[in-house]
Structure 1
Amino acid sequence: MADSKREIERKYEATVDTRLPDLTRVAGVAAVDHRGVMELDAVYYDTEDQRLAADSLTLRRRTGGEDAGWHLKFPVATGIRDEIRAPLSDTLPPGLAALLRSRVRETELVPVVRLLSARDVHHLLDSHGALLAELSVDEVRAERLTGGSSTAAWTEIEVELADDGDPAFLDSVERRLRKAGVRPSASASKLARALAETAPKKQRSRKKGATPPPRTAGDHVMAYARDQITSIVALDPAVRRGLPDSVHQMRVATRRLRSAFRTYRKILDRTATDPLGDELKWLAAELGIDRDQEVLDERLRARIADLSRTLVLGPVGSRLRIWSVTHRSGSRRRTVGVLDGKRYLALLESLDTLLAAPPLLPAAARTPQDALPRAVLKDYARLATRVGHALELRPGHERDLALHDARKAAKRARYAGEAATPALGGAAKKFARRMKAVQTVLGDHQDSVVAREALRTLAAQAHAAGESAFTWGLLYGHEEATAAAREQELPAVWARASRPKLRAALEG
């Protein structure tokens, strides 16, 4: 069984002659407990084209020390990583393999580097003997296992914060180390340094040129598409781990990408993007099964919490929990099953193909100022038609459906503006912000529609069980009032979003 640990650490350059300063002079440190030297042997794995290293992921099998086993590390921020651990075994544990699937796919993982480290460990303790941080002086020898057989050796100091420690403590330690002449390491990890220093000479001497900035309309659209595809791949492990908001963010990335394909169909060939759009729609729908229920649960719980206790009649909380569990049962298992399926992996491969050979049309060669506003304003016109149609209808089911269609159009217009912002600047950013305001009003209206359907069901279930349905009816009335308020609010929000000056600024 794998377990997770948030690792917050800093690395520093050292030599075999480096002497540690008196660390009891660091604020909060009462004692330094020298724990001795341990021998560590770690083999790092990656694909031959180093896909994991490209995304700053590390996978190793390590023996020696107190945490021997398989370790998979995901970057969170500078100096912060999530480490997923699994017991020592001869082969990669399935749980860790699943977390790598979006990047590795069917490609074999091979040993790329072996690191032998003599780790001299010191524990920094407070006045109660509690661990503040672990400082180690590591003498490292790296051996290349693929792409050559060169070696490298260095010494470094590593300071890792204790669990639940204050990251500011590391600042205090660093100030003391710097005063003693110790400087931060130029490498983010041992693996990064090993790969750099043991690379073949030709590879080391070949300078990687900077990615040229996007110039044409096609460049900008593909840069946006690349960002969304990167997000989908990167969020896959977070969804599998059940991290907060990960399903929502992955679903948003799929929708943004699909929206870009539809908005910029004069730039990207539809014969290539339409099939991908269909698959992205499928993926978003699968991800939405759990997310939509989660949003609804949160809304109903908040509504109940806002009620006076005297208005909550019967086992309202218990019935909501039972209803929620029934609807969400197995949903996460289903989501993970989708990510393990061949259809999803085939989609990822197709997206890679799109990036490698963009299906650009002649309009892609135009300047962004010429091609992008046209596409954005076409989405705006589509939204205007839907909003106008919805506002002409009388309140009721047909109007609810029309407002929901307008909501989807507002979301597409917003995404179109966001995609164009790097090229068109403030005008596109302001446009996207105004479209988001429209989307928010329409979104709350649609959430109210969905909530009322759920409340009707809950009321019927309560009545059938002999419970009072009063509270469910009361909440239904609150949701009706919310929907009416959003409908009244929409004309003013739409008027701000549809000002001619804003459209003129977007056209340049």
Structure 2
Amino acid sequence: MVSEVELKLDVDADAANAIEQSPWLGGAPRSINQRSTYFDTPDRALKAAGLSLRVREADGVWTQTIKADDDRAAGLFARPEWEREVPDGRPVLDDATPIVGLIGDKVDQVAKQFEIQVERRLWLVDWKGASIEVAIDRGEVVAGERSARISELELELQTGSRAALFDFARRLHEIGPVRPGIASKAERGYRLSDAAPNAVKAQSITLTADMTAADAFRAIVKACVRHFRLNEDLLKANRHADALHQARVALRRLRSAFAIFKALAVGDQSDRLREELRWLAYELGEARNLDVLLAAIDAGPMRDDVARAREAQYDRVEAVLASARARRLLLDLVQWIDDGAWLDRKKNREARSIPARLFAERALARFRRKVKKGGRDLVRVDDETRHDVRKDAKKLRYACEFFVGLFDGERERRRYKKFVAALETLQDQLGALNDAATIPVVLDRLGLSGAAGVDKNPPIRSDLILAAADAYEDVVDTKRFWA
């Protein structure tokens, strides 16, 4: 078993060509044609166990590889893998692999699921004291009757520092646009086998009792980056409102993580990342407002005007996501969380080393107090105060979702479900109030104030406020699931 340190980057065909022709790769590459067949059971038992199994043929040699993929990682992977030569294209599954122990009798059901053919070009680059293997993969994934092109760049650190690895990635970014990769080839094949989703919701995050607060922060940020990148790709492909919404949710979760872990996220670089995340969230916000407005408008000329404005705003979103600033933000974030100065600062040394569960208990209690204090007399406070309560309730909910894996007792799980359900109701009511306040502002900005066509039976504002106050009381009365 070996451990890789690898930076996976998504590139389009033009960027891959430009990078290959640059002087930084240092001469002619070594070229390998690879044909990889991926295996699983019909009910995807290996995928459910977090494993991928492939048999790859290159130059007449068959190599079996089992990888423990971290579905929550983004860009940088440190993953175990089991590799051996096999006689032919069929896998050899015995006690030398983890598969038999994980799926038991189902091992007899393991069969081909999809195939990936790529031309891999390899260079070995010396960069600032590091030895980096550069691989550009071009090819195709085939699952039954469906197929999709592959264009990827992988930087694998052989020796040297991770800082040098990222520095080299930035140099390549100057030549052609690159983004942190979030999908292994196995994931690409599985997705091709399934119906393409309109959007991807946040996945659960694996936190364990032996983690420190720093470990938890790193896992959470990587999961949020992955959530964003999955929906960024879908948004570019389908312009679906759900993909935009989930991309914004991912950014909100990232920003909440910085607030939750504020004792750890110290220094100028973390401040800059927070501001850049705020900028990107803002840029996506107007398109989301127009999606909300469209859902409230009847068919007719006014809806057509809003639809045109929506398409123009999505054009802007697409341009923002394609910008060097947005791409640089993601690279900086992936590097910072894994190798940033926050990991070595004296100021946050104690906070970094706190057991993750103890940190979670304190953070959850802190945000619950903020919601409890801000929501008192919710009927009589002003809109700004209610908006602040909404933001604090979101942070508390995200904290609950981030940390739930640390509270896995039966009673803790029951209480978690009730607590989060009460929070969701409060968010829904406060969100409806926010939408009701936002729609007139957006109409005015479009020059459509007073026009006919908006939902003629919108929720009554006073009813929404009363419902939000009731939901607040439920949150306060619901038992905590943490200590």
Same fold (TM over 0.5): yes
State whether residues 217 and 257 of structure 2, in contact with CA within 8 Å, keep that contact through their aligned partners in structure 1.
Answer: yes
Return the match for 2:318 from 328, 336, 349.
336
State whether residues 432 and 464 of structure 2, in contact with CA within 8 Å, keep that contact through their aligned partners in structure 1.
Answer: yes
Q: Deviations over 1:210-245 (max 9, x none)?
A: x99552232222211110112223333222212532
Mapped to 2, the partners of 1:403 and 1:110 lie a distance apart of 60
Q: Where does residue 242 of structure 1 map in the other structure?
A: 238
Mapped to 2, the partners of 1:405 and 1:97 lie a distance apart of 49
State whether residues 255 and 284 of structure 1, in contact with CA within 8 Å, keep that contact through their aligned partners in structure 2.
Answer: yes
Return the match for 2:292 from 295, 319, 322.
295
State whether residues 235 and 249 of structure 1, in contact with CA within 8 Å, keep that contact through their aligned partners in structure 2.
Answer: yes
Would you say 1:184 and 2:184 are equivalent positions?
no
Q: CA deviation at 1:252?
A: 0.9
- Change in CA separation of 1:240 and 1:110 when aligned onto 2, cut-off 3 Å: farther
State whether residues 207 and 406 of structure 2, in contact with CA within 8 Å, keep that contact through their aligned partners in structure 1.
Answer: no
* Secondary structure at the counterpart of residue 391 of structure 1: coil
- Change in CA separation of 1:228 and 1:459 when aligned onto 2, cut-off 3 Å: closer
Mapped to 2, the partners of 1:298 and 1:489 lie a distance apart of 22
Mapped to 2, the partners of 1:190 and 1:460 lie a distance apart of 52
State whether residues 261 and 274 of structure 1, in contact with CA within 8 Å, keep that contact through their aligned partners in structure 2.
Answer: no
Structure 2 residue identity aligned to 1:502:
K
State whether residues 289 and 442 of structure 2, in contact with CA within 8 Å, keep that contact through their aligned partners in structure 1.
Answer: no
Q: For 1:238-317, what aligned pairs fall within 5 Å after superposition? A: 238-244=234-240, 245-269=242-266, 271-300=268-297, 304=298, 317=300
Mapped to 2, the partners of 1:112 and 1:153 lie a distance apart of 23
* Secondary structure at the counterpart of residue 114 of structure 1: strand
Q: For 1:97-496, what aligned pairs fall within 5 Å after superposition? A: 113-115=32-34, 142-143=58-59, 154=88, 184-185=111-112, 189-191=115-117, 213=208, 215-244=211-240, 245-269=242-266, 271-300=268-297, 304=298, 317-325=300-308, 327-357=309-339, 359-360=342-343, 361=348, 362-388=350-376, 390-393=378-381, 399-425=382-408, 426=413, 427-428=415-416, 430-453=418-441, 469=452, 475=455, 478-479=457-458, 481-496=459-474
- Change in CA separation of 1:428 and 1:276 when aligned onto 2, cut-off 3 Å: farther
Q: Where does residue 51 of structure 1 map in the other structure?
A: 8
State whether residues 377 and 469 of structure 2, in contact with CA within 8 Å, keep that contact through their aligned partners in structure 1.
Answer: no
State whether residues 33 and 58 of structure 2, in contact with CA within 8 Å, keep that contact through their aligned partners in structure 1.
Answer: yes
% identical equivalent positions: 22
Provide the TM-score with structure 1 as the length reference: 0.54
Q: CA deviation at 1:324?
A: 3.2
Q: CA deviation at 1:351?
A: 0.9
Mapped to 1, the partners of 2:291 and 2:318 lie a distance apart of 16
Structure 2 residue identity aligned to 1:422:
G
Would you say 1:502 and 2:479 are equivalent positions?
yes
* Secondary structure at the counterpart of residue 360 of structure 2: helix
Mapped to 2, the partners of 1:459 and 1:282 lie a distance apart of 25
Provide the TM-score with structure 2 as the length reference: 0.56
Q: Deviations over 1:13-69 (max 9, x none)?
A: xxxxxxxxxxxxxxxxxxxxxxxxxxxxxxxxxxx95726xxxx9x9xxxxxxxxxx
State whether residues 142 and 194 of structure 1, in contact with CA within 8 Å, keep that contact through their aligned partners in structure 2.
Answer: no
Mapped to 2, the partners of 1:370 and 1:107 lie a distance apart of 47
Mapped to 2, the partners of 1:414 and 1:231 lie a distance apart of 17
> Structure 1: any 5+ residue segments left out of the alignment?
1-47, 60-71, 73-91, 101-105, 118-139, 145-150, 157-180, 204-210, 305-315, 394-398, 464-468
Mapped to 1, the partners of 2:111 and 2:417 lie a distance apart of 38
Paired residue total: 323
Q: Deviations over 1:425-460 (max 9, x none)?
A: 425554333222211110011111223445678996
Mapped to 1, the partners of 2:207 and 2:378 lie a distance apart of 45
State whether residues 420 and 428 of structure 1, in contact with CA within 8 Å, keep that contact through their aligned partners in structure 2.
Answer: no
Q: Deviations over 1:270-300 (max 9, x none)?
A: 5443221111111111122222211221122
Q: Deviations over 1:58-82 (max 9, x none)?
A: x9xxxxxxxxxxxx9xxxxxxxxxx
State whether residues 224 and 419 of structure 1, in contact with CA within 8 Å, keep that contact through their aligned partners in structure 2.
Answer: yes
- Larger of the two Rg values belongs to structure: 1
* Secondary structure at the counterpart of residue 300 of structure 2: helix
CA RMSD of aligned residues (A): 4.4
Structure 2 residue identity aligned to 1:289:
E
Mapped to 2, the partners of 1:298 and 1:230 lie a distance apart of 28
Structure 2 residue identity aligned to 1:318:
P
State whether residues 248 and 291 of structure 1, in contact with CA within 8 Å, keep that contact through their aligned partners in structure 2.
Answer: yes
Mapped to 2, the partners of 1:242 and 1:266 lie a distance apart of 39
Structure 2 residue identity aligned to 1:277:
R
- Change in CA separation of 1:451 and 1:236 when aligned onto 2, cut-off 3 Å: closer
* Secondary structure at the counterpart of residue 498 of structure 1: helix
Q: Where does residue 22 of structure 1 map in the other structure?
A: none
Q: CA deviation at 1:389?
A: 5.9
Q: CA deviation at 1:375?
A: 1.3
Mapped to 2, the partners of 1:112 and 1:284 lie a distance apart of 41
